[in-house]
Amino acid sequence: MLDSGFVNSYIDSHLDKRQVNKIQHGFPSPRYWTDLSVPVEETGEDRRRIRAAKRDSYVNLYVGVPYCIKTDPGKCGYCLFPVEEFQGNAALENYYGYVEREAELYREVLEGATLGAVYFGGGTSNLYKEPLYHKLMDMVRGLFPDIAPQVDITLEGIPQLFSRKKMAAIRDSGMNRISMGIQQVNERLNALSGRKQTTQHVIQSLEWARELGLAANVDLIFGWPQQTVATMLEDLETLISWDVYDITHYELNVGGPTDFALNRFHELPSTLSNLEMYRQSRDFLTSHGYEQITAYNFRKPGDPNSRQYEEGVTRRFDDMDTVGLGYAAITFFGDAMLEEGRCWSFINQRNLRRYKEMVDEGRFPVERGFRHSAQDWRLSMIFRNLFGLEVSRPDYREAFGLDVYEEFRTVWDALGERGFAEVTPEKITLVGDGPFYTPMIQALLAEERYRALREREAAAKKAARGHGVSVGTPRTRSAATASPGPGPEPAGQTAV
């Protein structure tokens, strides 16, 4: 257990640092996913064992697309995700054929599994033409023949690529939700990303969704260059006036060789301004009847097309099973009943050519992964529950035989003293500014284990240098999302 002095010092030193969109949906960070030999077949055997022993296990499915339309500046000025520039429909349809073949590799693995949720992300999944949405759902039904009516099936897209005809095909295929990455309603601010979206694109897409009976989630980002509290609140007020019931509102992640990091960093609101934006947006939305259901998801009751939707949230500890199909897709798999070392996180190839080559060879197109210890898996499940703002002490105890409060008592006590968390015999809940500081809280809870992983990484690099081998840390998505999206990131695998 961490010393209370260290815990308090750590919190004090991180309160004025950017939190950004670094919430982790699992542990550890992908920088530690260095195992190049992931036994996907072994996870298939374990899935069958779990299904035989439990009736309530389910699989979330994430299906990614690599392509985005070209922008100036590139990658919308800020995106750190692995994506490819869209080259036309022929390349997109060719790519879909590979995803379909990858899905076939999982058919036996998933036989008899129950589908929990589906998230079509990317990239930009509404680049597909109308017939492909039916093919995508045929692929899903090939893996899961009996899809329950309540299953959330979400397609992610940008407003300017929707049409009524396309949205009708999405609805008719069996998908039941769209998630629109608007980022900024304010056209002047949105233009800084090079995106051609207009306010009319957004309004029209929402009207089509409502007319066709599709639930609709809208994503907004705060902490944007040149943004103020006033312009942020204007965007939120506009969404409320358009009867948007599900709003995702999260902090801009700035880093890497992006335009926002290199050329607009001086235009970003300060760290304290971002905290104030979080507070003002939270209070504004809750005062208008929205409930905060995750660190950055807000929902208002009354949507006639409402779906059970909590992006990326896992309110359980016994198992997690998200299968990722496609370029750069991520899989999380584990269960409390499994033996040590049989829980895995892994990512598909982020080199599109290599992804296709492996599928052509009849192989699971996995790039690298991480084999979890029991401690790693507990942390992963705590992280996912914290994204949903609370950790159930009885459920954690039932899954692992441990009290999550006693295991991290010095951390929870320090957070409680600052008004970031409340501890009861039933649960630990993030309150006040706690949700804003979720990334810091996750990192602090995992500090001891991260120390061990850093030491292991350093030792491996030293040994490799001694043998004349070059060792580097793989570039990965930022730890956010995602994906993610029951976000998978699914729903939401907009992040790891």
CB 262 within 8 A of CB 255: no
* Tokens (6 digits) for 433: 């500014």
Give the span between the Cα atoms of 320 and 222, in whole angstroms: 30
How do beta strands 297-299 and 319-325 pair?
Answer: unpaired
What tens digit of pLDDT does each residue of 208-228 get? Answer: 999 999 999 999 999 999 999
Which distant-in-sequence residues (6+ apart) come within 8 Å of 223 by Cβ?
20, 251, 252, 254, 268, 269, 273, 274, 277
Q: 450 has which bridge partners?
A: none
Residue with tokens 């033996």: 339
For 466, residues 6+ apart whose C-beta sits below 8 A from its C-beta are none
Residue located via tokens 């990858």 = 102
In the three-class reduction of DSSP (H, G, I as helix; E, B as strand; rest coil), residue 135 is classed as helix
Closest-CA residue to 275 (of 24, 19, 481, 78): 19
Q: Which amino acid is at 383?
A: F
How far is 375 from 397, CA to CA, in rounded Å?
14
320-375 pLDDT, tens digit per residue, is: 899 999 999 999 999 988 888 899 999 999 999 999 999 999 999 999 999 999 99
Quote the radius of gyration of the chain (alpha carbons, Å).
22
> Average per-residue pLDDT in the chain?
90
Mean pLDDT, range 124-141, rounded to an integer: 97
- Chain segment 4-34, per-residue pLDDT in tens: 999 999 999 999 888 776 778 889 999 899 9
CA distance 173 to 193: 32
Distance CA(123)–CA(132), nearest Å, equals: 16
What pLDDT is stored for residue 189 in this prediction?
97
Give the distance between the most distant pair of CA atoms in the chain: 65
Q: What is the DSSP letter of 303?
A: -
Q: What is the pLDDT of residue 469?
A: 60
Tokens of 3: 């010393």
Question: How far, in Å, CA of 325 to CA of 327, rounded?
Answer: 7
What does the pLDDT read at residue 494? 35
Residue 331 has a pLDDT of 95
Alpha helices in 350-490 (DSSP H): 352-360, 374-387, 393-400, 404-407, 409-417, 438-445, 447-466
Mapping DSSP onto H, E and C, the string for 177-224 reads EEEEEEECCCHHHHHHHCCCCCHHHHHHHHHHHHHHCCEEEEEEEECC
Question: Where do the domains of the chain lie?
Answer: 33-299
pLDDT in tens, 432-466: 999 999 999 999 999 999 999 999 888 888 887 87
CATH fold, domain 33-299, is: TIM Barrel (3.20.20)
CA angle, 439 as apex, 231 and 456 as ends, to 5°? 145
Q: What is the pLDDT of residues 227-272, one digit of tens each?
A: 999 999 999 999 999 999 999 999 999 888 999 999 999 999 998 9
Q: How many residues does the chain have?
A: 496
* pLDDT (mean) for 383-390: 93
Alpha carbons 465 and 490: distance in angstroms, whole number: 39
- Render the burial of 386-404: b for 16+ CB within 10 Å, e for the rest: bbbbbbbbebbeebbeeeb
